[in-house]
A and B are shown apart, each in its own frame.
Chain A
Amino acid sequence: MTNQPAAVGTSARRHDAAAKVTGGALYTADVRLPGMLHAKVLRSPHAHARLRSVDATRARALAGVHAVLTRDELAGLSPTYGYFIKDQPVVAMDKVRYVGDVVAAVAAEDEATALRALELIDVVYEPLPDVPDVTAALAEDAPELFEEAPPGIVPPYGTGASGHLRPRRNVCYEFRYATGPADVWQECDHVFEDTFAFSRMNHFHLEPFVTVADVRGEQIEIWSSTQNPFPLRKELARVLRVGENRIRVHVPYVGGGFGAKHNCKTEPIAILLSRMAGRPVRYCLTTEEGFLTLSQHAAVLKVKTGVKADGTFVARESEVLLDAGAYSDGSPLVAEKAAYRMPGPYRWTHVKSSCACVMTTTTPAGPFRGFGATQSTWAGESQVDMIARRLGMDPYELRIKNLKRLGEPFVPGESGIDSDLAEGLDTVAGELGYHRRARTPNRGMGLAIGFKDGGGVNKPAQARVKVTANGAVYVNSGTVEIGQGASTTLCQVAAEVLGVPLEQVAYAPINTDVTPFDQGTNASSGMTVMGRAVLRAAEAVRAQVLEFAARQLGCEATALTLENWAVRRGDEAPTPLPGLIMKVFGGTGYEFSGEGFFKAPNSPEAPLDAPCVFWEIGWAGAEVEVDPDTGKVTVLQLVASGDVGKAINKLVCRGQDEGAAVMGLGQALFEEMRYDGSALLNGEALDYRVPMAEDLPERFVSVTQEQGHGPGPFGAKGAGEGAMVPVAAAIANAVHDATGVRVTALPLSPERVFNALHRR
């Protein structure tokens, strides 16, 4: 196609490199507007209480205070938000439902004044009994968090799948899926039932939740640290009862999200305060407030698996309870995935899964890297090893025996598996030295395969690619540069199609007034969904340019190739395009502009309404040493691998896998939001331990597989979540291999491992 060195498949320097290594990159937290005020909020000290009165008279009178928002200022709004279920109020209305629930907000000249004003708000609470965990919430006499049903919807599902609002007390949503004959249990030689516990992490994105809002008359303009500006705009428009075109969302660089920065977080309060004050308002949370805003889902997972004597898998039934916290946020969507992914990468005759979102008086839980798959893989892949040992088989052999083949549909109506699963497992086992491991006391190795559908459910993406008369290219897309490298890789796709050097392609800033629609930066969808929209937009531009040049040169467009912003016919000398373009459009220039769109087609047979775009697989292997005197687990080796199909940028892919794997390492060994009842014990950076460089295993290897079966541009798949998902199970399996003891709860803290060792 071109003599250019290929733009795709390189380790090209990222577009955001210079901005980020100089500190010049602008984040929402850095945005300053003239006359900007600062917001702070009053949070509930009670886990569950009725609000008797909220009186902000004294706060309003404080010098420097410009606006106070309480439940009395919500008239004219639709004051609750959420994904499927609109249950979270902008500020508390009738009740508070967790420690940290927002009761009132103040905008003042500076944060210190705002904080002083909060102390002057008089609130009378009537405390109610709390429900700190799923067991308490499901008890027959448990207090109801929501006495009345908040408005909610169940999305369309296909064959075998269903969703249920409020199926029982304190459950906001339940997803169920079943396929294959249930009578196969009779054919099983063994049936194993095990229960697993999964602890919850905090996202700990370094840039806090932050919004700067500027409301001028009818126009609402915000800068926000968000992963999904378009759904955010829609939800804000619904809450504020204004047209979506009255809300303009800018998204500067985002300092990490890992799923947390979706939909309404700091936005509604910043906007309402700005509207009341008539001044721009910055509302930036502290890290401590981040712990009170969103978390991963803790879970209890019951898994029943039936197998033949030779280890052939037959049936798997599972019941998952997610701790959704006080408001539903993305919980129903996570429940879909936690249940749906429970079969893992294996062949079954019968599958039946359910997942319930249980409301508790704790921090709301929502999207988190892995999105239910981390929970389901923890249980599923732990149990595979347990079954292997019960049958006297090697866990590797049991996996190989039951893995799906390349191209085999996940379940009826679904797309085929687009990785060779055994090849991936062999890659990791080989790198780890699994098959030639020596038997050393207290040392062991474990493997696991993380499994999730990738690319989002029914997710549309649109993109625009523009080229100036001089060949400068713009990629316009709603995919947020959140650290994953999409602002580089999407430009690489366009550069490859247009035959221009990568340096000539710019990634345009996001502004929802002009950026083409996108559903959000999530589900590892950047390359397989948005990448295809960008590919098509670039192809549309290329076609326009070639047709234009063909008309000028009096030939067929098919006779021309595009390289270095010139067209070439056969072996003739290339004709530079700038002159050709300006001859027709004038010396002031012109822009070619092409649009692209992608969405997986809907299908009634697909359980989740459209077949999965790609399958995101993460393979992990670990070698551990367990200290029998202390229970301390030392990870000697960690091998993590994803299959990206085709690496558009090798550095970017490596970074995604390694970052994900280390997040999995934290999950496995120590990261956990710890509660005493409904009180969070370690909700701040000092007490909440995230992995540091010193926590890296002595040997840490990532392998970027490029198996070439991906549906994205040039055979690409997605990345970013896969390598996190299997790590905890791989390490627990290694601990089992080392000690003969199974730990079924996370994290694998010394205390927990010690207790398990000494119960045997």
Chain B
Amino acid sequence: MSSRVSIDFEVDGVRRSEEIAPNTVLLDLLRDRHALTGVKASCERGVCGACTILVDGTPAASCGVFAFSVDGAAVETIDGQGREGGLGPVQRAFAECGGFQCGYCTPGMVMLTTALLRAHPEPDDERIRSWISSNVCRCTGYQMIVDSVRRAAELSREEQP
């Protein structure tokens, strides 16, 4: 693995150009090089979704994405979800509704919710359940996450000008 490849991509709105080994996994690049430890590593098999990020707006398990493949893409992580001086609407909703316990799945759930609300600003419970079924939460039993997503939809709509 002596060869290196160059990638040019955006992370949370900041453009980055860097040299990486071709077998670098995006999860490791974000956590180890960029210290974005809010992107959680868990199953590393693309199942649990703790490492969910958005690539050009689409949710992806960053443990299953080669870093070279995001060349030219915009990557969004939990780190970019805040707002000036505090929490973003999705984050506020999860905090308010208690849609987290140990917190390990929470960044992934927040990213999933962000993508869901962009695609469907007023999702019904069935759609919410269907979307968040791509990530595992072992603590909450999900209903309080469903409540959080519903509340996030309200807060996100309020935020629109």
Contact = CB atoms under 8 A, between A and B. Distances in A.
Interface of A: 11, 13-14, 16-27, 29-30, 204-208, 253-256, 258, 286-287, 482-485, 651-652, 654-655, 658-663, 684-686, 690-694, 696, 700, 702
Given A27-B104, A684-B45, A691-B141, 15 more contacts: A11-B98, A13-B96, A18-B95, A22-B81, A205-B104, A206-B102, A651-B97, A655-B140, A659-B101, A660-B141, A684-B43, A685-B45, A690-B136, A696-B129, A696-B143
Contacts of B103: 16, 19-21, 25, 253, 255, 483
A287 B102 CA distance: 17
Interface stretch (B32-40, B68-76, B153-161): B32-40
Interface in B93-113: 94-98, 100-107, 110
23 contacts: A13-B95, A18-B87, A19-B103, A20-B103, A22-B79, A23-B39, A23-B40, A30-B37, A205-B104, A255-B102, A256-B139, A286-B44, A661-B141, A662-B141, A662-B142, A663-B138, A685-B43, A690-B138, A691-B142, A692-B142, A693-B142, A696-B142, A696-B143
A22 B102 contact: no
Contacts of A23: 36-40, 77-79, 106-107
Contacts of A286: 44
A372 to B, nearest CB: 21
B48 interface: yes
10 closest Cβ pairs, A-B complex? A23-B38, A483-B102, A20-B103, A255-B104, A483-B101, A658-B141, A662-B141, A685-B43, A23-B78, A17-B95
**Which of A29, A254, A483: most chain B Cβ within 10 A?**
A483
A16 B136 CA distance: 20
B102 A253 contact: yes
Tell me the interface secondary structure of chain B in the complex: loop
B91 interface: yes
Nearest to A110: B32
B125 to A, nearest CB: 10
A692 B101 contact: no
Nearest to A666: B138
Classify chain B: how many residues form its interface, as a range: 35 or more
Contacts of A208: 42
B47 A686 contact: yes
Contacts of A655: 98, 101, 139-141, 144
B6 interface: no
A654 B98 contact: yes
A658 B140 CA distance: 6
A740 to B, nearest CB: 31
A11 B96 CA distance: 9
B93 to A, nearest CB: 9
B98 A206 contact: no
B95 A287 contact: no
A206 B141 contact: no
Interface of B: 36-45, 47-48, 50, 77-79, 81-82, 87, 91-92, 94-98, 100-107, 110, 128-130, 132-134, 136, 138-146
B141 A659 contact: yes
A484 B103 CA distance: 10
B66 to A, nearest CB: 15
B161 to A, nearest CB: 24
A14 B104 contact: no
A56 B37 CA distance: 34
The CB with the most chain B CB atoms within 10 A, among A13, A14, A23, is that of A23
A658 B47 contact: no
A204 B48 CA distance: 10
B102 A254 contact: yes
Nearest to A688: B47
A290 to B, nearest CB: 9
- The main secondary structure of chain A at its interface with chain B is loop
Contacts of A14: 95, 98
B138 A206 contact: yes
Residue with the highest number of chain A CB atoms closer than 10 Å, among B79, B100, B103: B103
A686 B49 CA distance: 12
Given A206-B42, A651-B98, A256 B48 contact: no
A116 to B, nearest CB: 12
B48 A693 contact: no
A482 B48 contact: no
B87 A21 contact: yes
Contact of A21 (B110, B132, B136): B110
Contacts of A16: 103
A233 to B, nearest CB: 22
A372 B134 CA distance: 31
A658 B137 CA distance: 12
B130 to A, nearest CB: 7
A256 B132 contact: no
Contacts of B87: 18, 21-22
A550 to B, nearest CB: 40
B98 A483 contact: no
Contacts of B104: 27, 205-207, 255-256
Contacts of B96: 13
B148 to A, nearest CB: 9
Contact of A29 (B41, B43, B78, B132): B41
Contact of A22 (B47, B78, B130, B145): B78
Nearest to A203: B138
Contacts of A686: 45, 47
Given A21-B94, A26-B37, A483 B129 contact: no
Nearest to B90: A21
B98 A22 contact: no
A684 B46 CA distance: 11
Name the residue among B81, B104, B133 with the largest chain A CB count within 10 angstroms. Answer: B104
Nearest to B98: A651
B129 A693 contact: yes
Given A19-B103, A26-B37, A256-B102, A693 B145 contact: yes
Given A652-B98, A659-B140, A692-B136, A206 B45 contact: no
Contacts of B81: 22
A24 B96 CA distance: 17
A486 to B, nearest CB: 11
Nearest to B36: A23
